[in-house]
């Protein structure tokens, strides 16, 4: 529900991509986020290409995708990226975040949304991702929790 609520609040920022691993998660988010579309490896190239084009043009406010969106896509207009399954891999993290960081006319910042998993097995992954973000001087990390926010520093 948190993901859906944040996506709804950030729709006005521009093209939005939500990355998930599980089809079940993607389908659930598609039902919860109005005017969104979920694509995965089982979709035809035409379906995927049309969804990406619709997202980048603004006709589709939110695109939800499995790891098919991890490589080989030029998404320079992408403004907001949700890491709904961020994991631990630094290389994959940079690759995914890089999708949103490319500059384009009228775009001077990007929003990357990551989630702090509280499960004991996933907390280490959160710390690893946070360290990677904090080592990039261009990034401003803001931790948001109900009713408050704070900027994180290295």
Residue 79 is predicted with a pLDDT of 85
Indicate the pTM of the whole model.
Answer: 0.81
Count the Cβ atoms, other than its own, within 10 Å of residue 150.
10
pLDDT bucket at 2, cuts 50 / 70 / 90: confident
Least Cα distance to 135 among 94, 101, 106 occurs for 94
CA distance 63 to 42: 16
pLDDT tens per residue, range 35-79: 999 999 899 989 999 999 999 899 999 999 987 655 556 677 888
pLDDT tens per residue, range 78-106: 888 888 875 655 566 666 676 667 777 87
User: Whose structure tokens read 């406010």?
Assistant: 61
Average pLDDT on 139-144 reads 68
Which of 31-37's residues contact partners 24+ apart within 8 Å by CB, and which partners?
32/1, 32/3, 32/4, 33/4, 33/7, 33/8, 33/62, 33/64, 34/8, 35/11, 35/60, 35/61, 35/62, 36/7, 36/60, 36/61, 36/62, 36/63, 36/64, 37/62, 37/63, 37/64
64: three-class secondary structure by DSSP: strand
């Amino acid at each position: 529900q948190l993901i859906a609520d944040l996506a709804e609040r950030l729709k006005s920022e521009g093209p939005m991509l939500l990355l998930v691993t599980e089809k079940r998660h993607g389908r659930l988010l598609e039902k919860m986020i109005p005017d969104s579309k979920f694509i995965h490896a089982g979709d035809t190239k035409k379906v995927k290409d049309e969804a990406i084009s619709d997202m980048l043009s603004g006709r589709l406010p939110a695109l939800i995708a499995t790891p098919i969106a991890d490589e080989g896509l030029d998404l320079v207009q992408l403004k907001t990226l949700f890491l709904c399954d961020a994991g631990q891999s630094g290389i994959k993290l940079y690759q995914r975040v890089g999708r949103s960081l490319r500059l384009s006319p009228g775009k001077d910042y990007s929003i990357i949304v990551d989630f702090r998993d509280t499960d004991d097995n996933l907390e280490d992954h959160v710390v690893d991702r946070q360290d990677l973000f904090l080592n990039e001087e261009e990034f401003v990390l803001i931790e948001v929790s109900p009713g408050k926010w704070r900027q994180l520093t290295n």
